[in-house]
Amino acid sequence: MDEYIGLDVSLKDTAVSIRRGGKRIWRGKCASDPQLLAALIRKHAPAAKRVVFETGRLSVWFFHALTAEEVPAICIDARHAKAALDMAANKTDANDADGLAHLAEVGFYKEVRVKSFDSMLARTLVAARTRLVRIGTELSNQIRGLMKTFGLIVPAVTGTRFEHKVKELLAGNVELAQIIRPLLEAWHAVRLRAAELGRKLLADARRSEACQLLMTIPGVGVVTATSFITAIEDPTNFKHSRSVGAWVGLTTRRYQSGEVDYDGHISRRGDSHLRGLLYEAATVLLTRSRSECDLRKWGLQLRERLGFKRAAVAVARKLAVIMHAMLSTGEPFRGAHVTD
């Protein structure tokens, strides 16, 4: 008889629940190590059919490691599981594992596609560079604010000009320089490290035909192209290109009950970082690009009717659809006709 297992994963321990024939036959805890869990499953559930756990920080590692151990691992959407798990009177790890095992047994869950390690490595590179750039911006703003208190106004310059100007203003104030210089040195170091990661990101993009293909779109750069490819991975994961816009969270939410039926704001589901990059690319296309493509013309017409923000969201959604279609067909961007 088949056995169904629920895993409530945490950083230190993982609660395990095993069901067979509609009844729980074993439950307990194990260290959060996929190899130890695989050994436990082989011992207590040799006929395991489904091993279910929720999305989380450890889900990518757990999925690939358990799959390598020939365990039928399934990662499910935490939002969908929450409704079922909240039915328990008490919120405990053991009860959550029981609920996940029950979901595995009845098959009432939504399986999540787990990204590969290569995709996660590229996404980590983008995230690390983005974090360093933000830290550098925060440090430069902090330096400007501290110096402004003493009447030392740093002009709106960036890069090495910013560093030279700060040193020039501090030349006559030794005591303040002792405070600001450590911040300036930290800013300089962060900027160098961000530049190193940026060069690696650019080098990887130059070797990727898919990145070069997407970068033919006005407003789409290395970061956006890389983030989109690593999020989509395989274009065949989506049956229709128009589904990508909803998957990224750029389509409006709908509420319908009885005679009430209205559309709300965008759902904002999915990858928030990718959604922000697509919105940024749409903004560049509408405001800074000199391209005369149909997509830009369509976006400008929407801006006149609906305002800039709504137009940018609509263009971002179209960009997601177009980028997926380009990856599917392998054809470069030609400013194809865009319809509502």
pLDDT in tens, 78-111: 888 887 788 888 889 999 999 999 999 998 888 9
Residue 110 is predicted with a pLDDT of 85
pLDDT in tens, 168-204: 999 988 999 999 999 999 999 999 999 999 999 999 9
Q: Sorting pLDDT into bands at 50, 70 and 90, what band is 133?
A: very high
Distance (Å, rounded) from C-alpha 251 to C-alpha 285? 20
Residue 291 is predicted with a pLDDT of 85
Q: Is the pLDDT of residue 339 over 70?
A: no
Distance (Å, rounded) from C-alpha 74 to C-alpha 71? 9
Q: Is the pLDDT of residue 340 over 60?
A: no
- Find the mean pLDDT for residues 269-293: 92
Backbone angles phi, psi at 306, to 5 degrees: -115, -10
Q: Sorting pLDDT into bands at 50, 70 and 90, what band is 270?
A: confident
Residue 248 is predicted with a pLDDT of 94
Residue 80 is predicted with a pLDDT of 82
Q: Is the pLDDT of residue 337 over 80?
A: no
Q: Sorting pLDDT into bands at 50, 70 and 90, what band is 14?
A: very high
Give the three-state DSSP class for 121. Answer: helix
Backbone angles phi, psi at 69, to 5 degrees: -85, 10
Q: Which of 336, 325, 332, 153 is nearest to 245 (CA)?
A: 325
pLDDT in tens, 204-228: 999 999 999 999 999 999 999 999 9
Residue 264 is predicted with a pLDDT of 81
Q: Which of 164, 142, 139, 169 is nearest to 153 (CA)?
A: 169
Using the Cα atoms of residue 60, residue 61, residue 66 and residue 70 in order, give the sign of their dihedral: positive
Q: CB of 250 within 8 A of CB of 316?
A: yes
Q: Sorting pLDDT into bands at 50, 70 and 90, what band is 262?
A: confident
Structural element, H or E, at residue 110: none
- Give percent of the chain with pLDDT exceeding 70: 98
Q: Sorting pLDDT into bands at 50, 70 and 90, what band is 338?
A: low
Orientation angle between helical segments 117-148 and 222-232, nearest 10 degrees: 140
DSSP strand pairing (48-54 vs 73-76): parallel
- Find the mean pLDDT for residues 244-266: 87
Q: Is the pLDDT of residue 335 over 80?
A: no
Question: Distance of CA 43 to CAs 36, 38, 53, 239, 247, Å?
Answer: 11, 9, 19, 40, 39
Both tokens of 167, joined, read 């040193």
Give me the chain's average pLDDT, please.
92
Residue 1 is predicted with a pLDDT of 80
Q: CB of 9 within 8 A of CB of 37?
A: no
Q: CB of 296 within 8 A of CB of 319?
A: no
Q: CB of 115 within 8 A of CB of 230?
A: yes
